[in-house]
Amino acid sequence: MRDLSSSDWAYGKANRERVRHCTRPRAPGGNHCLAGIPTYPSVDNAVMPRELFRFDTAASVADFSPIDDRVMGGRSASRLRHDPAGHAVFEGEVSLADGGGFASVRSRPLPLGDEQAVTCRIEVLGDGKRYKLSLRTDDHFDGVTYQATFEPVPGEWTVLRLPLTSFVPTWRGRPVEGLAAVRPESLRQLGLMISDRQAGLFALALRCIALE
């Protein structure tokens, strides 16, 4: 190894001073303060994921109850159960008899809100059917529900991100015009639903639901 000359030492000192006084880039992915030493954009305003439900224990499904078309005389039935493998399963059977055609589960009112959230992230394993994730901003049984439809890949664990702007305000399954987008800071109830006349058995597995 060669000896460092006084000029080498001075160059190294100058570079160290430049690194020490390096500030954040003006734009994400922007300039480097020193070649080979990257700087990174600030994450001060980043939205950190907030898990609302992680279904890894038997107690994790206790906050959910079924709300099926039996409330209007139908015959569909559903439940959210814990699977010993460490996840939950939204399962049951949709019947079109007696004017029915939907099954759902919903959490009890809880402080789920996060004013910085822009996305709802769910980790699911599908069965080839379409489902809806439902959000409510009140503690009532009936009223406006914000819903987003998703259809996960069957037989494969998948992480889906549903923008909160994609949740449509509905009332008893029908879109409601003129309402503002869902307010993430006001979220109180969360649910899962299967409808659209998808008769028969269904099973949707879930590991977690989070806001980002």
| pLDDT tens by residue, 77-89 | 999 999 999 999 9
Beta-strand ranges (E) seen in the chain are 50-54, 64-66, 77-83, 87-94, 103-107, 119-125, 131-136, 144-150, 157-163, 168-171, 174-175, 189-194, 200-211
- Rounded alpha-carbon distances, angstroms, from residue 154 to 72, 159, 165: 31, 13, 25
Comparing C-alpha atoms, which of 155, 103, 93, 159 is closest to residue 134?
103
Task: Give 56-100 pLDDT, tens digit per residue.
Answer: 999 999 999 999 999 999 999 999 999 999 999 999 999 999 999
Report, as an integer, the average pLDDT of 207-212.
98
- pTM beyond cutoff 0.85: no
Task: Give 116-128 pLDDT, tens digit per residue.
Answer: 999 999 999 999 9
CB 79 within 8 A of CB 85: no
Report, as an integer, the average pLDDT of 17-34.
37
Q: Domains of the chain, with CATH numbers?
A: 1-45 (no CATH), 50-211 (2.60.120.430)
- Rounded alpha-carbon distances, angstroms, from residue 195 to 28, 156, 204: 43, 22, 13
Q: And the tokens for 164?
A: 């909160």
CB 88 within 8 A of CB 107: no
